[in-house]
Amino acid sequence: MADTTKLIKRIEQLAEGKSNLRFMEVCGTHTVSIFRSGIRQILPPNIELVSGPGCPVCVTDDDYIDKAIAYSKKENFIVATFGDMLKVPGSRSSLAAASAEGGNVRIVYSPMDCLKLAEENPDKKVIFLAIGFETTAPTAAATVLAAKSRGIKNLFMLSSQKLVPPALRMLLSDKQVKVDGFLLPGHVAVVIGSDSFQFLTDEFKIPSAVAGFEAEEILIALISLLEQIDGGKIHVANDYRSVVKAEGNLSAQKILSQVYEVADTSWRGIGEIPSSGLRMRDDFAAFDIERVYPVEIETNTKKSACRCGEVLRGIIYPTACPLFGKACTPLHAIGACMVSVEGVCAAWFKYGGKTFKF
């Protein structure tokens, strides 16, 4: 691994004399790593790091949670999900609260666990909450293919997967968002490839770098961004070559495209982003719970003081939200950004942050 001291000196050298620069990481794992390693504190004062919509739990819309809660309360239904989804607030409640009130909610550690759960409960309809980015979506698709192959007919998906590139396009089209470069998500790039982000160069002429997750790897990616700004050619730098290929993981992409197709979808606090989600193809409609057993939910129009949407777009820091650290804490989360360990607000609450006055 590179010498951290030399990397920091290189960053200082490249940053000297530059105007204030704002780089956004769009991966929750990067957010936590940056906080844990103290990178913000060692950067020159004219370099700011902000977090984008890179936490899958955080961007899951409250309508989706409301549907999951409604299914959990139906007779002969089991809702299976990852543990960090339990406290995510819907418009009125959460899965944790629904479970306490008698809803049938089970924690699983992989979508594949649902195959056994469905086989062991043939009289129940098992619904997996399929959320996440391109990183986890292929596993959900593989689970559907396995269920079809094994003749399992009581396993379903409630799908709300998100695609990262369209979200970046939305951010760059938002006049409120000010970003001078992107630290691109390594895990997502493993699946879709670094070439999937080429539009950042071609259309927006903005520096970007695919980064690993160790402190040194993040510093190397920051150097790539600064070198591009310092007069180098604007491009998509792949600084995670040990695992990321230009074309990505073709096998994972094949499985994903076999089961899912691109669709518009809503992001919590942001709204609908065109072509930024996945829906199951007609050939797999029998595994889509919303097509087989649709559920009606009441829309709660009550406004919250939570400013999660602005936090997820890097417009404000979590500390600018009036609820942060007061009404909203990890033990009593009002906003989704405080729920997941990869949530921006949760990271700020746990590690603290360096406030900029840009």
Q: How many CB atoms lie within 10 A of CB 65?
A: 26
Cβ distance 282 to 261 under 8 Å? Answer: no
Distance (Å, whole) CA 88 – CA 61: 10
pLDDT at position 125, please?
Answer: 98
Kindly list the structural domains of the chain, giving each domain's residue range(s) and its CATH number in brackets, ordered by start: 62-163+250-292 (3.40.50.11740)
Distance (Å, whole) CA 340 – CA 58: 7
Going by the DSSP 8-state scheme, the letter that residue 20 receives in this structure is: P
pLDDT at position 269, please?
Answer: 81
pLDDT along the chain (358 residues), means of 10: 86 95 95 93 94 92 94 97 92 93 96 97 98 96 98 97 97 94 97 98 97 96 97 94 97 98 93 96 98 87 81 93 93 88 91 54
Tokens of 235: 């491009």
Residues 6+ apart with CB under 8 A from 253: 138, 191, 192
Distance (Å, whole) CA 328 – CA 335: 7
pLDDT at position 358, please?
Answer: 31
